[in-house]
């Protein structure tokens, strides 16, 4: 479980909220609380105390270089204790974020230097429970959304809080969310 002060760069996908709601109906413990449906670009990111003006400027520059991205969520995948929906159209952005901060290995290096971009649906749970999640989620697919911004979030004692939201292809970025 992450500690307060942990940050992440994420891409929100509001159209995928019904998928997380379906997983919560099966078992609320399978879905991390406090963070909307998203694809992670880089987790963990720099500690909250290291988010300097230089870092936020780099996030703004990187997000501004990408146009909004049409995302189609079509496939549901499971491995032991994990269920997700691949988001290949967001892989180039995730790769660019990781390339910009090579000293910060995604997921602490557990899944290699280039983990597949995905929407996590459920973490934990026995195979039979994840099969129930799959039965609830598969009828909701495919889903389409437009990824419009890169968001920097930080874990606090109160939960995940947005620190910065920068539109893709937009201006230098927006004020903190």
- Kindly list the structural domains of the chain, giving each domain's residue range(s) and its CATH number in brackets, ordered by start: 7-167 (3.90.1140.10)
Q: What is the pLDDT of residue 176?
A: 41
Q: What is the pLDDT of residue 76?
A: 98
Quote the pTM value. Answer: 0.93
Q: How far is CA 68 from CA 45, 89, 113, 131, 166, in A?
A: 22, 11, 24, 33, 11
Q: What is the pLDDT of residue 33?
A: 86
Q: What is the pLDDT of residue 159?
A: 92
Q: What is the pLDDT of residue 95?
A: 97
- 166 and 177 in contact (C-beta within 8 Å)? no
Q: What is the pLDDT of residue 144?
A: 98
pLDDT along the chain (177 residues), means of 10: 94 98 97 93 97 97 97 97 98 97 96 94 96 98 98 95 93 43
Q: What is the pLDDT of residue 172?
A: 44
């Amino acid at each position: 479980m992450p500690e307060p002060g942990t940050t992440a760069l994420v891409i929100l996908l509001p159209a995928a909220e019904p998928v997380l709601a379906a997983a919560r109906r099966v078992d609320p413990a399978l879905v991390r609380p406090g963070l909307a449906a998203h694809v992670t670009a880089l987790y963990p990111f720099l500690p909250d105390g290291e988010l300097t003006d230089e870092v936020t400027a780099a996030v703004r520059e990187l997000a501004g270089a990408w146009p909004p991205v049409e995302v189609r969520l079509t496939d549901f995948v499971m491995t032991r204790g994990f269920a997700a929906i691949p988001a290949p159209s967001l892989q180039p952005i995730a790769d660019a974020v990781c390339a910009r901060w090579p000293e910060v290995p995604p997921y602490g290096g557990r899944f290699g230097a280039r983990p597949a971009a995905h929407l996590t649906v459920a973490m934990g749970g026995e195979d039979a429970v994840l099969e129930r999640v799959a039965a609830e989620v598969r009828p909701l697919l495919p889903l389409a959304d437009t990824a419009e911004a890169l968001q920097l979030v930080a874990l606090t004692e109160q939960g995940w809080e947005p620190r910065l939201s920068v539109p893709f292809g937009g201006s230098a970025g927006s004020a903190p969310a």
